[in-house]
Chain A
Amino acid sequence: MTDRSTAAGATRSQPAPSRPPPPHPAPTSVPNTGVTPPPVPSVRARTTERVIGILALVGTAATVWLGLWVTPPDRTQGDLVRLVYIHPGVAWVALYLAFGLATVASLLYLWPRTRSMFWDRLAAAAVEVGVVFNVCTLVSGSIWGKPTWGVWWAWDARLTLTAVLLVLYLGYLALRRVPAEPEVRARRSAFVALFAAIDIPLVHFSVDWWNTLHQGATVLNAGLNLKIHGSMAWTLLLGFVALTLVFVWMLLVRYRVGAMEDWLAANELDLALAERRSEGAEDRGGAPADPVGVA
């Protein structure tokens, strides 16, 4: 997450030539436009992101290969069991990693001594990626549920909890889309994330008492007593690792994009003004200025 330091070396007079081309043209060559340079992640941050991305890709490919070709079909479920390499992993990422991280980041934002936009952006990125994984959980679960339970959807406790989580965090994302000052938005979103997190155990207990059909946990049951063995267990584990890496990679990318969005929202007007001014200079026959530093 070093991309917050926004390429400190790129001062106005010294555009670093060796940097990778910034995603948004950097207005480093404009004098007196008041445009702050966009956040360009450091080379190290970009490398980390790329390495994680490649590892995630390799891990996912390996999981697919092991899951579809190497591991044996199940005695009772047949080929359907292959969903076990994806479905719990996706659910783990969405329900524990992503929403857990969002809760922690929101708390750290609200805590005055650790308040920083970093935590706000991290929470937003985590929720957004988490919602994607949450939908994947519901979809893969439905595909599994139809042949095994005979229905696409059952009002089982876990399914209901997952669905409630989805709407809770969709609400969070909807609130984030409401235009507001960045600090106000950050604070408001952090509170909503926190209230949602508080609600999760309550929803959990209520739907648990309401109805239970889903099987118990396969890996994380009491005593970590695995109910699955051999190549299947290893593939399952690899799937968890691969999906976690996919999550981290998506989180990093989303964070970077979020930082750029914030920069653009703050500087849009200044940028547009600088462009118009340079057009004016061109019309008057002056030397065409280069407002956004493209040349």
Chain B
Amino acid sequence: MWRDAALVAGKDLRIERRSRVGLTQVAPFGIVALALFAFALGPDRSDMARGAPGLFWVAVLFCTVLAVQRSVSVEAADGARDGLRLSGIDPAGLFLGKAAAVGALLVVLEAVLAVGVVLLYGARVEVPWLLVASCALGTIGLAATGTLYGALSAGLRVRETLLPFLLLPIVAPVLLAGTKIWQAAMLGGTPSSGTPWLRLLVVFDAVYVAVGIAVFGPIQETA
């Protein structure tokens, strides 16, 4: 399972390295989203700094949708999905590999967006380890749910419109938890106010990673 996961993740990241879709399209989109939030909130940077935690996570969610779409579409052509199934790769490994590749892309995007939030909105970072921890845990959850729903919608012609609708409500707890943790880390809350939310993220990750490992095989048959 782990070897298969590494193979699949390596393949997806190699495609990303050669096509640079994530870096040249998704990351700039994230920056555009941050700029649009700034236009919506007006030129006062103190408003933006107060909204920064939530806006960061909303931008991450949007980028997740794009990253998952990309992860699905690299398998869409030339019967690549059937090829993967025929190759004898363990479905659980395939799930973990796809999720790891999406997660790796998301980590880069989050770093870009975090720098953007600090520079553009003037948000102050008071407890850096909370930011890093929430990003790490949030990324696992987003990548796992995204990969699950990506596989479910893989064969659909209406994938582009249906996937965000199905995925975004599911990851609402990640948005709430991430925002609360970032508020604690940026707006001078006590670090301990973030810990129940970190626990929630851990549960979210565990649940959806376990579900993905368990049912990714049957899900592939639905596409």
Residues of A participating in the B interface, judged by any CB pair closer than 8 Å = 110, 164, 167-168, 170-171, 174-175, 178, 184, 187-188, 191-192, 195-196, 198-199, 202-203, 205-207, 209-210
Contacts and interface: CB of A to CB of B under 8 A. Distances in A.
Contact of A191 (B169, B203, B222): B222
Contact of B162 (A164, A174, A205): A174
Most chain B CB atoms below 10 A, which of A110, A171, A209, A210: A171
A192 B180 contact: no
Contact of A206 (B145, B157, B165, B172): B172
A117 B25 CA distance: 43
A198 B180 CA distance: 22
A187 B170 contact: no
Given A167-B169, A175-B162, 10 more contacts: A164-B169, A168-B170, A171-B166, A171-B169, A187-B221, A191-B218, A198-B208, A203-B173, A205-B173, A206-B173
A175 B200 contact: no
B162 A202 contact: no
28 contacts: A110-B218, A167-B165, A171-B162, A174-B165, A175-B162, A178-B157, A178-B162, A187-B218, A188-B222, A191-B152, A191-B219, A192-B152, A192-B166, A195-B149, A195-B211, A199-B169, A202-B173, A202-B200, A202-B204, A203-B173, A205-B173, A205-B200, A206-B172, A206-B177, A206-B200, A209-B180, A209-B197, A210-B176
Contacts of A188: 152, 222
B156 A171 contact: no
Contacts of B211: 195, 198
A175 B154 CA distance: 12
A202 B169 contact: no
Contacts of B152: 188, 191-192
B164 to A, nearest CB: 10
Contacts of B158: 178
Interface of B: 145, 148-149, 152, 156-158, 162, 165-166, 169-170, 172-173, 176-177, 180, 196-197, 200, 203-204, 207-208, 211, 215, 218-219, 221-222
Given A171-B165, A198-B207, A202-B200, A178 B173 contact: no
Nearest to A209: B196
Contacts of B208: 198
Contact of A187 (B169, B176, B200, B222): B222
Closest 10 CB pairs of A and B: A206-B173, A188-B222, A206-B176, A171-B166, A167-B169, A202-B173, A187-B222, A168-B169, A199-B170, A171-B165
Contacts of A196: 170
Contacts, number: 68
A18 B166 CA distance: 47
A191 B215 contact: yes
Contacts of A198: 207-208, 211
B172 A164 contact: yes
Most chain A CB atoms below 10 A, which of B145, B152, B211, B221: B152
Nearest to A177: B158
A268 to B, nearest CB: 20
Nearest to B141: A202
Contacts of A202: 173, 200, 203-204, 207
B222 A199 contact: no
B165 A184 contact: no
B193 to A, nearest CB: 10
Contacts of B218: 110, 187, 191
A184 to B, nearest CB: 5
Contacts of B219: 191
B222 A184 contact: yes
A206 to B, nearest CB: 4
Contacts of A174: 162, 165-166
Nearest to A169: B169
A178 B156 contact: yes
A209 B180 CA distance: 10
Nearest to B171: A199
Contacts of B177: 206
